[in-house]
Amino acid sequence: AQKVTQAQTEISVVEKEDVTLDCVYETRDTTYYLFWYKQPPSGELVFLIRRNSFDEQNEISGRYSWNFQKSTSSFNFTITASQVVDSAVYFCALSEAGSGAGSYQLTFGKGTKLSVIP
């Protein structure tokens, strides 16, 4: 069974500080996908990134960066120089490619609420 753990329930940082959101996953599949989504107060889930299990390269997109380490089953998300607009709930999610019959069930963690204080 697949499982995603986001141990940090809430984090508060002062604007311009860097912050890292942790994500640890469990899966028996060798082929899987990892995701990060942002959920602002408006409620919509906004797709941020997808990585497949065969690509351990770290990725940077502007102030966002992701560190994928299969050895520790972690997929951490860092925001550099945080801004007030980054305040949201961030979800890490996992999808096993072998879910069967085209099912692409996303298993989400419980989320980390990030508050960036001006």
Partner 1 sequence: EAGVAQSPRYKIIEKRQSVAFWCNPISGHATLYWYQQILGQGPKLLIQFQNNGVVDDSQLPKDRFSAERLKGVDSTLKIQPAKLEDSAVYLCASSLEDRVYEQYFGPGTRLTVT
Window 47 to 66, contacts with partner 1 (CB under 8 A): 47, 50
* Residue 1 near partner 1 by CB under 8 A: no
CB of 109 to partner 1, least distance (A): 5
Half-sphere exposure of 27 (CA within 13 A, CB side): 25
Give the nearer residue to partner 1 in terms of CB position, either 44 or 57: 44
> For residue 74, with 0-12 CB atoms within 10 Å meaning exposed, 13-18 middle and 19 or more buried, which class applies?
middle
Q: What are phi and psi of 71, to 5 degrees?
A: -60, -30
Stretch that binds partner 1, among 14-22, 53-61, 74-82, 99-107 (CB under 8 A): 99-107
Query: Measured between alpha carbons, how far is residue 104 from residues 33, 65, 77, 93 in Å?
Result: 10, 25, 23, 12
Give the residue, chosen from 93, 96, 114, 116, that forms a contact with partner 1 under the rule CB under 8 A.
Answer: 93
Window 18 to 47, contacts with partner 1 (CB under 8 A): 33, 35, 37, 42-47
CB of 118 to partner 1, least distance (A): 26
Tokens 């001006």 belong to which residue?
Answer: 118
